[in-house]
Amino acid sequence: MKIDTTNAPETNLYHRLPQVGEFLNGARVRPLLERYARPVVADAARAFLAGLREEIARGTVDEEALRGSIEQMPDGVAALIEASEGNALRAVINATGVILQTNLGRAPLSERAIEAIASVARGYCNLEYDLERGERGRRGAYAEQLLLRALDRGAQDRGAQDRGAQDGAALVVNNCAAATFLALNTMAEGGEVIVSRGELVEIGGGFRVPDILRKSGARLREVGTTNRTRIEDYAAAINEDTRMILRVHRSNFEIVGFTEQPGLDELVRLGSDAGVPVFEDQGTGCMIAPEACGLGAQSSFARSVRSGAALVCASGDKLMGGPQCGLLAGEARMIRKLRDNPLYRALRVDKLTYAALEATLLAYVSGQAETLPVVRMLATPPERIRQRCEEWARALVSEKVSAEVIATESVVGGGTAPGTTLPRARGP
């Protein structure tokens, strides 16, 4: 019997593909086998051949192209192995104009923070060991101290707090969402938390205040309306089940027009009269005067803590310019309860985070905030940015890529300063 294959030319092409075993025994694959284990090379060869099979099925190769590909197979297989050995996570250029881009990893770290990470990553470190006393120490104690100092809330500030014997304390967890969750669960499980309807927000990445609150075991007591909530609304909602008043910073949107919202200090006064602690999810972690870096009348972590709120939390990798973490500062007895909650164990951070956080906070404590890339970028004058853009444009044009500098405004991003834009490069 004679089989006519002229109507199925691709069938012939499939027959040209080498067997994996045949490929592995070839002379040209020997250098690869010296560098990589045989199963690794075999897997990559299989993947390479699967790619060719797909091309044949799609009809995108003819006999000659296929012969070329098979000829190149050792190089192709080597490239596949190398690609699979590289990190998926790698450096990119952020040309979005958004300084804090969650998709691009938020805050770049300072050189000092990077060195600190490298130094504790390479070997062992005194994560839970007190070198001076020569005994077991508490993880994060120094970072907490630095945070309090950076928040200008250390020992020298205590007298001014007018809060009796309650000292300030701090705690570090995995991110701001974890901080909020831990605080709500510790302070309000089984009770009510009063929140303005204008603050029942979604911050992004699935962080929704009502959902976090429910999961924490607290009951949501909504007050006011989307655009207007008065201090009387809060006052009227307080009852014996009230455990907390929650204030959430509107990090990524603004309500404009016919609006009203009591200041944090008003809430603190109400809470103190009624014996209800006030907790603010401040979010941005701004440690310096927001006006100083063109952010306008924004809320700041330091200011919120100084307002006398029982507890304030913020992200470490937004305006603070540090590693991803959630920072809590407030009354010592609150922080103690948070630390004693078994959940804290599940939300704590590792040595790398503490290393980077300490270095970041040291920059604030020692008056060197401009060594932090985020702070530096925020403070860069538009004129300097225009120069940089022009240099880029010139370089691109000289590579025959058309480029032109145009004036624009950029946002800070990362859920920090809604409605605030930074003046950026102006055109010629």
Ligand X SMILES: *Cc1c(COP(=O)(O)O)cnc(C)c1O
Quote the least distance from Cβ 209 to ligand X, whole Å. 8
Quote the least distance from Cβ 106 to ligand X, whole Å. 8
Q: Which residue has the tokens 């959630």?
A: 326
* Residue 305 touches ligand X, criterion: CB under 6 A: no
Quote the least distance from Cβ 177 to ligand X, whole Å. 3
Q: Are 281 and 203 in contact (CB under 8 A)?
A: no
* Residue 175 touches ligand X, criterion: CB under 6 A: yes
Q: Between 322 and 326, name the residue whose CB sits nearer to ligand X.
A: 326
Q: Between 13 and 179, name the residue whose CB sits nearer to ligand X.
A: 179
Quote the least distance from Cβ 316 to ligand X, whole Å. 7
Q: Print the binding letters for residues 321-360 with ligand X: x by CB under 6 A, - otherwise.
A: -----x----------------------------------
Take residue 402 and report the two structure tokens written for it: 């058309």
Quote the least distance from Cβ 291 to ligand X, whole Å. 19
DSSP string over 50-71: HHHHHHHHHT---HHHHHHHHH
HSE of 230, CA atoms in CB hemisphere, 13 A: 4
Where does residue 330 fall: left (phi above 0), alpha (psi -120 to 50 degrees), or beta otherwise? left
HSE of 360, CA atoms in CB hemisphere, 13 A: 35
* Residue 300 touches ligand X, criterion: CB under 6 A: no
Q: Between 69 and 196, name the residue whose CB sits nearer to ligand X.
A: 196
Number of residues that bind ligand X (CB under 6 A): 14
- Which parts of 132-200 fold into alpha helices (H)? 141-150, 155-158, 176-188
Q: How far is CA 378 from CA 87, 168, 181, 277, 319, in A?
A: 30, 30, 30, 34, 9
Report the C-alpha gap between 25 and 41 in whole angstroms: 11
Q: Which of 283, 290, 308, 330 binds ligand X (CB under 6 A)?
A: 283
* Residue 203 touches ligand X, criterion: CB under 6 A: yes
Quote the least distance from Cβ 226 to ligand X, whole Å. 17
Report the C-alpha gap between 310 and 308 in whole angstroms: 6
* Residue 251 touches ligand X, criterion: CB under 6 A: yes
Q: Between 206 and 367, name the residue whose CB sits nearer to ligand X.
A: 206
Q: Between 59 and 296, name the residue whose CB sits nearer to ligand X.
A: 296
Quote the least distance from Cβ 190 to ligand X, whole Å. 23
* Residue 29 touches ligand X, criterion: CB under 6 A: no
Q: Which of 153, 415, 417, 425 binds ligand X (CB under 6 A)?
A: 415
Q: Between 78 and 329, name the residue whose CB sits nearer to ligand X.
A: 329
Q: Which of 120, 188, 248, 369 binds ligand X (CB under 6 A)?
A: 248
3-state secondary structure of 207: strand
Point out the residue whose Cβ comes nearest to ligand X: 283
Residue whose C-alpha is closest to residue 343's, from 105, 230, 109, 179? 179
Q: Between 57 and 346, name the residue whose CB sits nearer to ligand X.
A: 346
Q: How far is CA 388 from CA 95, 379, 383, 391, 408, in A?
A: 12, 15, 9, 5, 14
Q: Which residue has the tokens 């060197």?
A: 368
* CA dihedral of residues 196, 200, 204, 207 (deg, nearest 10): 110
* Residue 176 touches ligand X, criterion: CB under 6 A: yes
Residues at the contact surface with ligand X, assessed by CB under 6 A: 175-177, 203, 207, 248-249, 251, 281, 283-284, 315, 326, 415
